[in-house]
Each structure stands twice: as structure tokens, then as C-alpha cells.
Structure 1
Amino acid sequence: MKLLIRIIILVLILALAGFAYWFLYGRYFQSTDNAYIQTDITNVSSRISAVVVESKIMDNQKVKKGDLLARLDDQEYVISEKQAEATLAQDKADLENSQAAYQMQKSTILEYESDINSAKARYQYAYHQYRRFQTLEKHHYVSKGDMDNAASSFKVAEAECNQAKASLKTQIDKLKVQQSEIQKATAIVKEAQANLEQAKLMLSYTRIVAPIDGVISNRTLQVGMMVQAGQSIASIVSDRTPWISANFKETQKSRMHKGQPVEVSIDAYPGRIFKATVDSLSPATGATFALLPQITQRVTLLKLFSVFL
């Protein structure tokens, strides 16, 4: 009987001690086993469709940003680049010809302006001669033949002056046309330059480089295989500090906030405790992002940062 009483007292003491521990200390801490270590994983894809001619990577190989991972067949794109260069050279030559023709037309206009000045001078002379002969004719000082010659010279000079003006206008209109030809040739050159840049860009896509520092994983690249545009050839696991995504129930997160210290134990390192910090709390529950959400499951995603510090 005494032994039973002692056992009951011992159980009560342990229960009270456990309750006191929970009330004074344990209830302020939350824990979960539903947590996973994560890090950034970047899928490396081909931007073009081509045959792989060289592979520079192996599984679990460390790479740096900008390292060459693979080289694709570039013959087609080299030819396209050369064609674009030739087209640009031809278009530039056409532009230079248009500019030269424009300058020549300006010189031609100067010649026609000089012709107008000469025609105007002849017209003024013929006009004054004609007027003078008209005055002399009234006093019968000139013959009818001289008067007819003066009138004819005046009409010829007048016609030549009008013709010179019309020719000048035609040449000025030609200058406007040639100016528009220069603008058109300039636009064609810009288009050819853009096509060349596009060809160079497509050629650069035959070299697949690492977008980040990390470790090669999930490699599917093989020499001789035909890759399609957008096809993944490997993944790179970032070598940045990983984080832990931990799922807690809604009843556990009421006092959680960013910056709180966290202790983490990892199965791969038994007996070791890692220090971490709450980085952020997800605004949605973990079930929200599931393929088949469970309405009864209500947990909050908690991101822990600097786990291995």
C-alpha cells in the first residue's frame, strides 16, 4: 500500500513538474518535423534548335557563372552572320551612292542657277533693245527688218529664260527625291545593322554558358543529340546558403515573426544543432500550392535563413 502511494505521489510530482515546465517554458516554443532544406535550382535550356557538338560538363561538376557548358553546331548561324554582313556592306554602299548623287545634284543646281542668271541677262538686254527699237520705229529711224530681228531676239531670250527657270525647278525637285532616297537608304542600313546584330545574337546562342555559380545536376546533355529551343539540358544547384521551409499549424504561428532565432536539427547530421533565423512567413498555407489541396490541412510555410551559420 505504501509503495502504491509512493508511486502515485511520484507520478503527481512528475506531472506537476511537466506542467510547470510547459507553463513556464515549453509553451513559448514551437516545433515541427514537416520541414525541408531547399536552395535555388536553375534549369539550363537551349535557346535554339541544333545538334550538340561538344559537352563541357559532367554530373556533380562545379561551375562558375559564364563557364562554357556546351557548344552547338554553328555552321548555319555563321553563314547567316556572313550574309548579314554582306547585306549591310551593300546597303552602306547604296547609301554612300545616294549621298554622292545628292551632292552632285546640288552642284548641278548651282550650274542651272548660273544658266538662269545668263538667261536673265540676255532677256534684259533683248528687252531693252526691243523697247529702244520700238521708240526708233515711231520716228522711222529703223527698218522693218531690224525691228523684226529685235522682236524675235526678245521672244527667244524670254523663252530661254522661262526654260532655264523650269529646268531649275526640275533639278530642285530631283534634289528632293534624292534626299528621300538618302532617308530610305539610311533606314535600310539601320535594318541591315539590326539583322546583323540578330545574326550575331543567334550565333552566340550556340554557346551554352552557366547562368549562376553552382553544381551540375540532372544532366541530359549528350554529344550528337538534337536539342530543341527551350529544351532543358541540365540543372544547376546554386552554391548559395540554403534555407529551410518549415510547415507549422495555424495554432503554432501566432507569436512567430521575422528575425526570431531558431534551432535546427538535421537527420544527416545527428547530434548537431544549427542556429538559424526566421526570414519570412508565407501569406498562404502550404496546401494552397499543392496540386490537390486538402481543405482540412491548414499549415503556414515558414522560411528559415542562414541555417548553417
Structure 2
Amino acid sequence: MENTEKNIETSVKPKSKRKLSFFILFVLLVIAAGGVFTYYEMYSKYYEETDDAYVNGNLVALSPQISGTVSQVVPDEGDYVEKGQVLVTLDSNNTQIALQVAEAKLANKVREVRSMYASADNFKAKVETSKVEYRQALNDYNRRKNLVKTGAISKEDLIHYRDTFEAAKSQLEAAEQSLQMTIALVDNTVLETHPEVKTAVANLRQAYLDNLRTKIVSPVSGYVAKRAVQLGSQVQPGSQLMAIVPLHQVWVDANFKESQMKDMRIGQPVTLTSDLYGEDVEYKGVIESLGIGTGSAFSLLPAQNASGNWIKIVQRLTVKIRLDDQNQDQYPLRIGLSMLANVNIKDTSGKVLAKESTKVARYDTDVYQSSLAEADKLVTKILHENVGITVSAQ
């Protein structure tokens, strides 16, 4: 009897322990599920994350505007350059000669046009003189016609006066025609607006710019990449000598699945980390634009979804993220680096697409603006030296 009771007690104890274990496990599962649910409701559902994100930026190509032979290369790859700094120099012997020829042609053309105006004044004076001679010959002839009737002069004298009158008339007509031809060359113009002078000025400005463009300057401040130019190379307009990367103008292109973009809006904050610096360095940014099309839509060989073996694939859209300047001086980013982007989608009041057109240039440079101003100073100097008055170069 005692043995039976001991067996019963022994069998009950393991069952009780198993029930307690299952209960503890159930409680832990409930707590874990509650924690996951709380984490999702409080945090996770307001964030979308992707590691398919990369740093992108402007690659400012440095190209010559004239052909020439490279005589000097200042920077190498990785060097920092300032905006307006001379990076490449071309041989300028030919452009200097062309500039001197253009200066001489402009000076000579100014003198030729001045002579045209002087000729016009001269022909005007000749016309006035011819008019006086014509009127005098006409009066003499009319008076002699009446004297022939009274026999005071002979008919031969009258014929002589008539010939003189006809000659004066022809001379007046020739002078007027010559005046019209001369006026046609200078009519409704002043010296600086005369077509021939303006053509010579344009040629001089072009020659000045060609000579100036033998020194190729950097349009922006940044770092040199992809240097292809070599000393002695014969370069042509449009050929790429090197690229300049302004690292403070980089952004991040994050590729999100279409299922992640339901609540994404322009202006939402983004937290980013890079594989280069790790999770300890965070970058802040905002969504600047949402993708206009998927990558497959703009590919060279778009997918043919009408085929019979079509399989649905979740597409990705590129989201452009503008970075704040925070940390970029201490932890600069390079183009192409991998990033982890985490978007806070809690505020959905922003726009999906931009509704207003851009009025102000996003990127610009002023390193070329003073080129023609310097050329015009040279034009004004030449005009002043060959005219004796100050005129504007238009």
C-alpha cells in the first residue's frame, strides 16, 4: 500500500513541473508578443529602412573650349582645387597672334569707316557746289535765250551756254548719285554701330576669348577625379580632361520597394549611416524627391511583361535624399559609398510630387562672367586710340 502511494506521488510531480514550465513559456511568449506589438505600434510602423542606398553627386567635367596642345597640368587625382583656379594651360602662341591680327583689323576698320563718313561730308559739299553751278548755268542760259531774239548774241553763243547748262546738270546728277552711294554705306549709323566695325569688334572679342581660354579654370571648388589629360596632348573642344567633385553637394539615392512608399512624402526626415564610418556616425537629411519611374522603366532593355512567362517582381523607386552639412566636414562622404537609410514616415502631410517649378538655378558658377567685360575694355581702348573719343563697345 505504501509503495502504491509513493508511485502516485512520483507521477504527479513531473506533471506539475511540466504544467509550470508550459505556463512560464506561455507567459514569456505573451510578453514577447506584447513587446513586438508595442515596438511596432510605437516605432516600427513609422519607419521604413533600406540598405540599397548609395551616395551620388555632381561630376563636373572639365573640357576645353578651343583646340590646342597641353603645356601645363596643375592638379592630380585627389587634389583639392578652388573655383576659378587655373588647372590646365594650352599653348597660346597661335591665339596671341590671332588676337594681335584682330586688334590691327579693328583699328584699320575704324579708320576706313571714318573715311567713309568723311567722304559722305565731302560729297555733300560737292553736291552743294554743283547745285550753285547748275543754277548759275541755268540762269545764264535763260537770259541768253531772250537776247538771241533781239540779235544781241549769236545762236552759237546760245548753244555754248546751253552746253554749259547741260554739263552742270549732268555734274549735279553725278554728284547726287555719288552722295547716295556714300550715304548708303554709313546711313543711320555712328562709328561704333557701323556693321563693318561691329564685325571687327566681334572678331576681336572672339580672338580675345580664344586666347583667354588657353587657361582652363575650375568652375567649382572640389576634388579632382578621373584625370585623363596628359602633357603634350592635342585636345579638342568637348573632350573631357578631368572631373571635379564638389563633395559638399552630394546626396543619397535610396532605392525603396514600392510597397514601402505608400506613406513617404517630400520633406520627411531621414537618418543615414555609412558602411565606411559605421553606426557611430549618423547623417541627417530630408526627402527631396520621390522616384518618377522604376529602374526597369528607364533601362535600355525594358521588361516585356506581355510575354507568357511573366513573373511579378517587386519594383524599386529611387528616393533622393538631401543631406545636411552636419558631420560632412569631419566625416566626408565619397560618391558611390553604401548607405543605410531610415525614413521617418509619421508625418504624411507633405507632397508626393513637387507642384511648383524651380525658379532659381540649383547649381551655377560665375568664373566665366568677366571674360567679355575684359574684352570690351580692349575694344574701347582701340576705338578711343583710333577715333579720339570714348565710345562704348556693343
TM-score normalised to structure 1 length: 0.86
Shift in Å, 1:148: 7.8
Trace 1:280-291 onto structure 2 (pairs within 5 A): 280-291=289-300
Indicate the residue corresponding to 1:118 in structure 2: 136
Are residues 1:153 and 2:157 paired? yes
Evaluate the alpha carbon distance shift between residue 204 and residue 297 of structure 1 in structure 2; reply closer, same or farther with a 3 A threshold: farther
Indicate the residue corresponding to 1:143 in structure 2: none
- Which one of the candidate residues 250, 262, 265 is aligned to 1:242? 250
Q: CA RMSD in A?
A: 2.4
Indicate the residue corresponding to 1:101 in structure 2: 119
Shift in Å, 1:54: 1.2
Are residues 1:88 and 2:106 paired? yes
Trace 1:32-181 onto structure 2 (pairs within 5 A): 32-131=50-149, 133=150, 147=151, 149-181=153-185
Q: If each structure's helix is expressed as a fraction of its own residues, which one has the higher value?
A: 1
Indicate the residue corresponding to 1:279 in structure 2: 288
Shift in Å, 1:121: 2.9
Shift in Å, 1:293: 4.9
Shift in Å, 1:169: 0.9
CA distance in 1, matches of 2:256, 2:324: 18
Indicate the residue corresponding to 1:144 in structure 2: none
Shift in Å, 1:93: 2.6
Could you tell me which amino acid in structure 2 is paired with residue 287 of structure 1? S
Q: In the comparison of the two structures, how many residue pairs are matched? A: 295
Could you tell me which amino acid in structure 2 is paired with residue 260 of structure 1? Q
- Which one of the candidate residues 293, 299, 302 is aligned to 2:319? 302
Q: If each structure's strand is expressed as a fraction of its own residues, which one has the higher value?
A: 1
1:2-26 per-residue CA deviation (whole Å, 9 max, x = no partner) reads 4354334423431342133224431
CA contact (8 A) 2:58 2:249 kept: no
Q: Residue 30 of structure 1 aligns to a residue in which SS? A: strand
1:126-171 per-residue CA deviation (whole Å, 9 max, x = no partner) reads 133224x1xxxxxxxxxxxxx3834333333233223212210111
Stretch of structure 1 that moved more, 261-270 or 90-99: 90-99
CA distance in 1, matches of 2:300, 2:218: 31
Shift in Å, 1:237: 0.6
1:236-277 per-residue CA deviation (whole Å, 9 max, x = no partner) reads 111434221111111111111111122212222222333221
CA contact (8 A) 2:67 2:236 kept: yes
Could you tell me which amino acid in structure 1 is paired with residue 156 of structure 2? S
Indicate the residue corresponding to 2:197 in structure 1: 189
CA distance in 2, matches of 1:100, 1:58: 59
CA contact (8 A) 2:59 2:245 kept: yes
Could you tell me which amino acid in structure 1 is paired with residue 320 of structure 2? K
CA distance in 1, matches of 2:32, 2:300: 45
CA distance in 2, matches of 1:38, 1:307: 14
CA distance in 2, matches of 1:52, 1:303: 39
Shift in Å, 1:59: 2.3
Could you tell me which amino acid in structure 1 is paired with residue 139 of structure 2? A
